[in-house]
Amino acid sequence: MMLPTHALMGLAIAAPLVVVAPDLASAALVGAFAGGLLPDLDLYAGHRRTLHYPTLYTIAAVPVAIATALFLTPWLVALTFLFLGAALHCRMDRYGGGLELRPWEGTSDRAVYDHVRSRWRAPKRWVRYDGAPEDLLLAILVGLPLLVVLEEPFQWLVGVALVVGGLYGLLRRRLANIAPVVFGSVPESVNEYVPNRYKQN
C-alpha cells in the first residue's frame, strides 16, 4: 500500500486516545504517524527488508506498552505507538502487491521480508498494488473520519496524506513508465543506489 495509506492507518490506531486519554493523544498520534512511515525509509536500501520487521515490531511493542501502562509518560506512549504503527505497516505490506516496478502485473512473490523465518513472505494482493483504486479508497475511508475526529496540526497531516495519495493514485501507472527513463539517465555513481526494479523496462 502507498505511504499515505500507511500514515493514515498509523494515525487511526492512535485516534481513540483523543477520547480516552486526550492528554496523551498528541504523543500517540506523533508516534503512530512516524511508525507508519518508518519502515519505508528503507525504500532505497533493501526495500521491505532493511526496516521491515513484521514480527519484531510487535514483540518490541509489548515491553514498551507495559512500561507505558506503569509510567504513562508521553515519550513512552509515543514509543509504544511508534512500534504499533510500524508493526501495522509491515502487516499491511503483506496484503498489498509484490516488490516490482509494475506490481499490477503480479509477477513478484516478495511482499515483505520475514526476518524471523529468514524468507520473503508472498503478497496476498487484497490491495493489488500501491496506488491502486482500492488503496485510494482505503485511504479515503480511513482519512475522512480522521479529518472529523482530529484537530490541528494532525488534521493537516491527514489532508496532505489524502491529497498526495490522490495524486499518486492518479499517476501511479505513469510513474512506472517514467522511472526507467529517469533512472536510466542518471550518472553511474548515483545509479548504484537505484533499486533494480526501477530499471526494468
Q: What residues make contact with Zn ion under the rule CB under 5 A?
A: 39-40, 93
Closest CA to 162 of 189, 144, 176: 144
The CA-to-CA distance between both ends of the chain, in Å, stands at 22
* Least distance (Å) between residue 20 CB and Zn ion: 28
- For residue 34, the minimal CB distance to Zn ion (Å) is 14
CA atoms 171, 172, 174, 180: torsion sign: positive
- Choice between 3 and 29, CB closer to Zn ion: 3
CB of 152 to Zn ion, least distance (A): 28
In the complex with Zn ion, which residue's Cβ is closer, 76 or 130? Answer: 130
Nearest approach, Cβ of residue 158 and Zn ion (Å)? 20
Q: How far is the CB of 6 from Zn ion (least distance, A)?
A: 7
Q: What's the closest the beta carbon of residue 123 comes to Zn ion, in angstroms?
A: 12
Q: Which residue, 40 or 135, is less far from Zn ion as judged by CB? A: 40
| Alpha-carbon span 128 to 120, nearest angstrom | 18
* Residue 147 vs 175, nearer CB to Zn ion: 175
CA–CA separation, 168 vs 58, rounded Å?
29
Cell reading at 128: 493489488
40 vs 114, beta carbon nearer Zn ion: 40
Q: Of 40 and 100, which has the nearer Cβ to Zn ion?
A: 40
